[in-house]
Amino acid sequence: MQRLVLAAVVLVTLAGGAARADSDAAEVVAKKMLDVQVAALRMHDVRTLITTFGDEGFLIGPSDVAGPNHSYLFTGAIAAILSRPSVGVLADVTVTSYHAGGNGDDLVWLAAELVASYQGEDRSVRSVPLRVSESLFKTKEAWRVSMAHVAVPTTDLSPRAMPLMQLNEYNDPGLDYLRRDLTSAIRLDRLLATGAPIVLGTEPREQAYGEAAGHELLRQWRNLAMSITGRPRENAAGEGAEWVVANIDLKRAGSGVPARMRASFVLEPQHNTTAFVLVHFSVAAD
């Protein structure tokens, strides 16, 4: 990963025997959710995909489209997964690995690496890696997604003149107190949740598991100059937890035009503070 490229997913489980049980339960929940979503993607079953989200669920797609459930932006984000102008129509998708954290009771977060096969007009098939992170909460009926972030891992972080689509069309939380945290790898490193975090970079090869590896990767980004454009958007992610999404500009050395990044976070109370249990930065693929 170039040092100007930033993307991370942070997942946490507690230590000890109880933590192992929590982790096992979280992995079961994550696998069931992924199984349903992957089956729906293979069938282009948009209705089933939508039902995996809560009423206030939010989806960040691999393109510049992101939005809340029951909106054209939400279905547009799904469409950006099912059909990519540069490669074709989704023909198949498989999960190559996944990791989950949470208590398996009312809050689970997950990260998964997928391979999507797209068929072009000439019938040729091209494989594209997808990186997915999700925050799940439990309702009376079933587990639902509160926020999902789908991205294409890449080494390309080209400057982009036009800002990304704003995220606060339906609410304006005014999370100014988080601005320093969301745009500082140093502060993210300090506020990284304890336990067994997982940090994933934008490049496919960047996968850091455990606290030591996660902190090491975040510290490699200490000198990145980032700033939020627009206002962050947030909502509840479960009991005592919340998710936040934001558009973040990354300053490029020697260029007056920044790289445009989209970021999502899940936070929960831990050790008398608020810790980041999931962090995911990406760039729009198309």
Which domain does 42 fall in, by range? 16-282
CA distance 63 to 157: 14
5 domain residue, yes or no: no
Length of the chain: 286
Tell me what pLDDT residue 100 has: 87
**What token pair was written down for 216?**
């090491």
Most distant pair of Cα atoms in the chain: their distance: 57
**What token pair was written down for 284?**
């729009």
151 domain residue, yes or no: yes
7 domain residue, yes or no: no
213 domain residue, yes or no: yes
DSSP three-state, residue 38: helix
Tell me what pLDDT residue 141 has: 84
Tell me what pLDDT residue 236 has: 85
CA distance 128 to 132: 13
- pTM, two decimals, is 0.89
Each residue's pLDDT expressed in tens, for the chain with a length of 286 residues: 544 444 444 444 334 455 556 778 889 999 999 999 999 999 999 999 999 999 999 999 999 999 999 999 999 999 999 999 889 999 999 999 998 888 778 889 899 999 999 999 999 999 999 999 999 999 988 999 999 999 999 988 888 888 898 886 544 455 566 778 899 999 999 988 876 677 777 777 877 777 788 888 889 989 989 999 888 888 888 777 899 999 999 888 777 889 888 999 988 888 888 888 898 999 877 6
Residue appearing with tokens 């102008």:
85
83 domain residue, yes or no: yes
CATH number at residue 168: 3.10.450.50
1 domain residue, yes or no: no
91 domain residue, yes or no: yes
Count up the domains in the chain and report the number.
1
CA distance 80 to 216: 33
227 domain residue, yes or no: yes
Tell me what pLDDT residue 175 has: 59
CA distance 21 to 27: 10
